[in-house]
Amino acid sequence: MYKHRTAWTVSSVFLFAAILLAVSQHGRSNRIYAAGQTTHTIHTPEEAYAIWNEKKIRGRTLILFDHYPHNMGYYSYHGNPRLYQSNLVEYAIFQNMIRKIYFVVPEMEWNEFRRKEFIRPIREATETTKGLYLYNQSGIPIIAVTPASLPHIAEPVLVYVNTRMFGLEQTRDLLARNMITSDIFVSLERVEHE
């Protein structure tokens, strides 16, 4: 009797491990990276989407150096979702371009950020010194971190930088220190209207 129970337990553990391995491999095989490394200067968030779409990227990690993600759910879609300035991240998620986001909050703004009403933390991101998993309607992980808490990410990432909030040199230095590579680096530089 114990032989059968042990055999059943061992078989169940091996089956579970095989399923986890298959799902992990399937997820990795569905990630599409751009060939080489490119840097782009844009003037609207929609231009970032056009670049990602042209490169046919899929299932990627985004490091967002900007205001709270363009993922606020302001638009209730009737019919197919459409791209707006305020929903770049949300729209890219709908198109299966982004599967995970590291949202970088300036060090000096961290405590104020945590007190904002629209921030709904799920739990602390214990793998970082200052990090929060944030609730969002898309269901993908959004992890808010400070620059000093940004962890090393082994795969090439998408980088989106709002140059009004973060300097390009500061951002590039941070990525280099953490040995993070990017195949598509986009910097938003808004043009002042006269």
In this prediction, residue 10 carries a pLDDT of: 58
Report percent pLDDT > 90 for the chain: 45
The separation between CA 52 and the C-alpha centre of its own chain, rounded to angstroms, equals: 13
Residues paired with residue 161 on neighbouring β-strands, in sequence order: 65, 187
DSSP letters, 149-172, are GPPP-SS-EEEEEETTTS-HHHHH
In this prediction, residue 79 carries a pLDDT of: 65
CB 187 within 8 A of CB 63: no
Domain 35-188 in CATH 3.40.50: yes
Q: Taking Cα atoms as reference points, which of 84, 99, 93, 88 lies closest to residue 143?
A: 99
Residues 45-69: pLDDT tens digits? 999 999 999 999 999 999 999 987 7
CB crowding 101-129: b at 16 or more within 10 Å, else e: bbbbbeeeebeebeeeeeeeeeeebeebe
Work out the pLDDT band at 140, boundaries 50, 70, 90. Answer: confident
pTM: 0.78
Work out the pLDDT band at 18, boundaries 50, 70, 90. Answer: very low
pLDDT over 60 at 113, yes or no = yes
CA-to-CA distance for 88 and 78, rounded, in angstroms? 18
pLDDT over 50 at 139, yes or no = yes
Higher model confidence: residue 87 or residue 47?
A: 47
pLDDT over 80 at 134, yes or no = yes
In this prediction, residue 89 carries a pLDDT of: 87
pLDDT over 90 at 11, yes or no = no
Question: Which residues in 16-151 belong to E strands, given as ranges?
Answer: 38-42, 60-65, 98-104, 121-124, 131-134, 142-145
